[in-house]
Structure 1
């Protein structure tokens, strides 16, 4: 029988700190993309990563060869989904106004796009992670890509100091 490791185990702490040093930046970038916050002003993303890493640390001894990054990413995605979406009239809507490069996407579209493109998770694993059918994930991904690649046109800026031409 193995002795129970305590939270003040220095080897466990060093191992986890090494993991965070290697994965923390990427996890924060992922969370920032999910929340659509600005890169230098991302309190929601930082909070999500902190909670996901705390959960991973709490489970550290039970991972038994499981990829800690995959575990943290799953927790991060679940926390984002629970915090960013709420049911209102059967639709998923964001609670706050995103401002980042993926701001035009819905929270669900951002989640699928970030997991698929930035994290490199295939469609089947993304579907399993989110508890959605593979076809639904594919549809969401395609819609998100279309939105990102063909953003809505903005109105032309107003020109000041120009008189209207009489007709």
Structure 2
């Protein structure tokens, strides 16, 4: 890696945004930190190749690493702490309801919702990032949004009535 300053600038500028996405993907502050760190290690190793679009590379690496982790995870993990996740709800009660409901989704459902609605990826982009079909993304989005409505009816305005 010859351009260390470029990598350092990227990490400094985009680190907080990557950490927010990682938290939304994992639902756990410590796992989120591990996820970002793992993705940045890979990015540092390949910086020469990816320096034209490093954020896309790091985000894609995070998505894939997260999938690998929840495929291998055999034990149920319980978070011992909380993290103030950035959510588009000004009402603290609503924010907490959303955070708790997201934690009760499967990791795969949570990942699809984060990519679709937080990262604002299309169904096709989400499918490509996760290595699944667009139909699977549509189905998981629909199931996850239904589950959110069931778990927290007070979120109906955020989740949408038709979704």
Shorter-chain TM range is 0.7 to 0.9
Q: Which has the higher contact order (CA 8 A, sep 6+)?
A: 2
Aligned to 1:62: 49
Instruction: Classify the secondary structure of the residue corresponding to 1:85.
Output: helix
Structure 2 gap ranges (5+) = 84-98, 154-163
Instruction: Classify the secondary structure of the residue corresponding to 1:27.
Output: helix
Higher strand share: 1
Aligned to 1:84: 70
**Aligned with 1:49 (options 26, 30, 36):** 36
Quickly say closer, same or farther: Cα 1:54–1:84, change in 2 above 3 A: same
Aligned to 1:16: 7
Aligned to 1:156: none
Quickly say closer, same or farther: Cα 1:64–1:52, change in 2 above 3 A: closer
Structure 1 gap ranges (5+) = 1-6, 88-92, 154-167
Q: How many residues align?
A: 134
Across the aligned residues of Structure 1 and Structure 2, the Cα RMSD in angstroms comes to: 2.2
TM-score (norm 2): 0.74
Higher helix share: 2
Deviation of residue 72 (structure 1)? 0.3
Quickly say closer, same or farther: Cα 1:28–1:64, change in 2 above 3 A: closer
Aligned to 1:104: 104
TM-score (norm 1): 0.72
